């Protein structure tokens, strides 16, 4: 009798131990050591590990590492994605086991629910609510917005001149050409002219352009594609100005059908084009170019922009900070939010077009009038002093410049501190006389190595301050907008138009970052403290103002912009 009782107690004790171990495993808490020991006396912990959940943890970590390797960018998005995968897997695993236990009906509800501690139940409910909210935001990339552009603006029929320069672009050209054709169909084939100038490519660019030429001909899309060999290279050059001069010449060749004085080169209906769309060798979508052309002017829907730019990206962030200047005339930074102006930052958050002083950034839409050939010849601009608010002829500044040089003698002025087109500074350098139609050019100023893409926007500022815009009515530059004290061109960047020079970064900004769940994370964290810290480092150790053009653009700055410093008091070492 005593023996049977002992046996029953031992069986009950073993069943209780197994039940405790199962409960602890279900609760995800640390289980007590198993009473089942090996012959050597070591405790067996194998039952504490959930191999299915461990597999999902590995998958989540793999997702995070994969995103980080594909897109090595300073952001917390890979960590967030890995966390979501692990949390989703854990939640589904717990609910699956609970539902499976209830479906078997081998135990009572009280027994089944008893395996879940209060803390575990709370966490499971919260994770379910959180994941349900994430799912409600959406996990699928939404379709791109495709505006229908008006056929007429202020009674003028809209026609589009699409220009491009290409060199060694085999990797991008197939998709580039396909998107170009789709854009032409969207705008209307009769409303589009395509002009491409290529030179010195060593890959399959020329042959791919030959295919594009045939395609455009078969589709009845007006075009001119020029491939050239001049034994020159786009890079490297001995100086930046040499490279800029070559690129400026190449871009002007792409504009020849609407600018050339030669009737055999200039197209017959050149006067009818209202917009110029200039494309770099970028990854883009035709829908995004339609949005760029449809960029709206803030508060003045009946008015048109003078220049509208995309935003181009690479591994570290915004790419073309050499050409882009914010509303205050200072260079944009690489990292989000790219500017210091709070008004501009608010618009970037909302992905609304924001005003800048200059931009290019992979793709640009321009009002065509200042770039069209004129039969009455070219006129010379007068230079406006940045500080006085009066016009001073270009030639009259020589005396001021010489006097300044005599006063300051051989004093060296730091590169980037020298002023441009600013008669209030004795050693200011002046740009060459402005002519119409506007053309790409080099700065010819050793202290300011400016991109030909920046200079075309800067010349729009010079045009707005000159007598040319009033002499020729069709060259009229927009009147001042909100916060701008004097005439200035309407130049905008459109953050809804994201392009890139590499396919993976194009996908990053146009696919991954457009997933609603990722956008939620960007808005609430990933563009918060981490990049604020990066921005702090950039502001204190890496950022330098481009005083060269800040001075020249100072008459167009809103009141909220910081005042112009006294650059002439700075030495080369400062």
Residues with Cβ within 8 Å of 372's Cβ and at least 6 positions away in sequence, in order, are 258, 259, 270, 271, 273, 437, 474
Instruction: Break the chain into its structural domains and give their ranges.
Output: 51-137, 156-373+488-553
User: Which pLDDT band holds residue 136 (cuts at 50, 70, 90)?
Assistant: very high
Given a contact cutoff of 8 angstroms between Cβ atoms, the answer to whether 382 and 464 are in contact is no
Question: How does pLDDT run across 470-486, given as a tens digit for each residue?
Answer: 555 566 555 433 333 44
Handedness of CA 553, 558, 561, 567 (dihedral sign): positive
Question: How does pLDDT run across 373-430, given as a tens digit for each residue?
Answer: 987 655 444 433 333 333 333 333 333 333 333 343 334 444 455 667 766 666 677 7
Name which residue leads in pLDDT, 76 or 572.
76
Name which residue leads in pLDDT, 199 or 430.
199
pTM: 0.80
Handedness of CA 358, 243, 380, 472 (dihedral sign): negative
Given a contact cutoff of 8 angstroms between Cβ atoms, the answer to whether 28 and 44 are in contact is no
Label the pairing between strands 363-367 and 307-314. Answer: antiparallel
pLDDT of amino acid 568 = 46
Question: How does pLDDT run across 334-346, given as a tens digit for each residue?
Answer: 888 888 888 999 9
Two tokens, residue 54: 């461990």
Give alpha helix (H) positions in 71-188: 77-104, 109-114, 118-137, 170-187
Task: State yes or no: pLDDT of 37 exceeds 50.
Answer: no
pLDDT of amino acid 427 = 67
Mean pLDDT across 117-129: 90
Angle at 63 between CA 57 and CA 64, to 5 degrees: 95
Task: State yes or no: pLDDT of 252 exceeds 90.
Answer: yes
156-373+488-553 CATH: 3.90.550
Q: Phi-psi category of 337—alpha, beta or left, where left has phi over 0 and alpha has psi -120 to 50?
A: alpha
- For residue 33, the 8-state DSSP code is P
């Amino acid at each position: 009798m005593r023996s049977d009782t002992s046996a029953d107690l031992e069986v009950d004790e073993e069943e209780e131990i197994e039940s405790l171990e199962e409960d602890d495993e279900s609760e995800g808490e640390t289980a007590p050591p198993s009473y089942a020991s090996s012959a050597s006396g070591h405790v067996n912990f194998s039952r504490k590990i959930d191999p299915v959940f461990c597999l999902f943890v590995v998958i989540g970590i793999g997702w995070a590492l994969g995103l980080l390797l594909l897109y090595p960018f300073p952001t917390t998005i890979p960590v967030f994605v890995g966390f979501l995968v692990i949390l989703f897997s854990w939640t589904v695993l717990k609910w699956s086991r609970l539902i499976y236990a209830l479906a078997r009906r081998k135990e009572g509800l009280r027994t089944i629910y008893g395996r879940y501690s209060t803390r575990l139940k709370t966490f499971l409910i919260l994770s379910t609510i959180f994941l349900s909210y994430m799912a409600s935001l959406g996990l699928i990339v939404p379709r791109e917005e495709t505006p229908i552009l008006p056929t007429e603006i202020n009674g003028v029929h809209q026609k589009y001149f699409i220009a491009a320069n290409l060199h060694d672009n085999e990797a991008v050209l197939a998709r580039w050409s396909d998107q170009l054709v789709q854009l032409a169909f969207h705008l209307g084939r009769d409303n589009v002219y395509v002009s491409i100038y290529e030179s010195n490519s060593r890959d399959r660019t020329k042959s791919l352009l030959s295919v594009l030429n045939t395609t455009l001909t078969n589709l009845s899309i007006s075009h001119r594609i020029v491939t050239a060999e001049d034994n020159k290279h786009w890079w490297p050059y001995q100086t930046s100005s040499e490279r800029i001069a070559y690129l400026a010449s190449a871009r002007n060749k792409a504009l020849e059908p609407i600018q050339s004085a030669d009737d055999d080169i200039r197209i017959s209906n050149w006067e009818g084009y209202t917009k110029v769309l200039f494309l770099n060798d970028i990854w883009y979508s035709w829908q995004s170019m339609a949005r760029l052309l449809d960029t709206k002017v803030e508060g003045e829907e009946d008015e048109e922009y003078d220049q509208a730019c995309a935003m181009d990206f690479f591994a570290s962030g915004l790419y073309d900070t050499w050409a882009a200047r914010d509303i205050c005339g200072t260079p944009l930074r690489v990292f989000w939010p790219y500017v210091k102006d709070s008004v501009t930052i608010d618009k970037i958050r909302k992905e609304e077009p924001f005003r800048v002083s200059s931009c290019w950034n992979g793709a640009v839409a321009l009002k065509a009038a200042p770039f069209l050939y004129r039969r009455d010849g070219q006129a010379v601009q007068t230079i406006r002093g940045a500080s006085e608010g009066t016009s001073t002829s270009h030639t009259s500044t020589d005396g001021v410049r010489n006097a300044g040089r005599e006063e300051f003698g051989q004093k060296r002025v730091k590169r980037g501190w020298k002023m441009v087109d600013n008669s209030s500074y004795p050693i200011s350098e002046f740009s060459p006389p402005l002519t119409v139609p506007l053309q790409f050019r080099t700065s010819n100023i050793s202290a300011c190595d400016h991109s030909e893409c920046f200079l075309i926007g800067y010349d729009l500022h010079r045009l707005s301050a000159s007598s040319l815009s009033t002499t020729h009515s069709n060259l009229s530059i927009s009147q001042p907008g909100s916060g701008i004290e004097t005439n200035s061109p309407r130049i905008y960047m459109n953050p809804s138009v994201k392009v890139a020079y590499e396919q993976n970064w194009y996908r990053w900004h146009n696919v991954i970052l457009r997933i609603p769940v990722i956008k939620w994370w960007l808005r609430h964290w990933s563009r918060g403290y981490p990049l604020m810290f990066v921005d702090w480092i950039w502001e204190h150790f890496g950022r330098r103002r481009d005083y060269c053009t800040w001075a020249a653009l100072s008459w167009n700055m809103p009141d909220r912009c910081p005042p112009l410093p006294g650059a002439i008091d700075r030495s080369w070492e400062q």
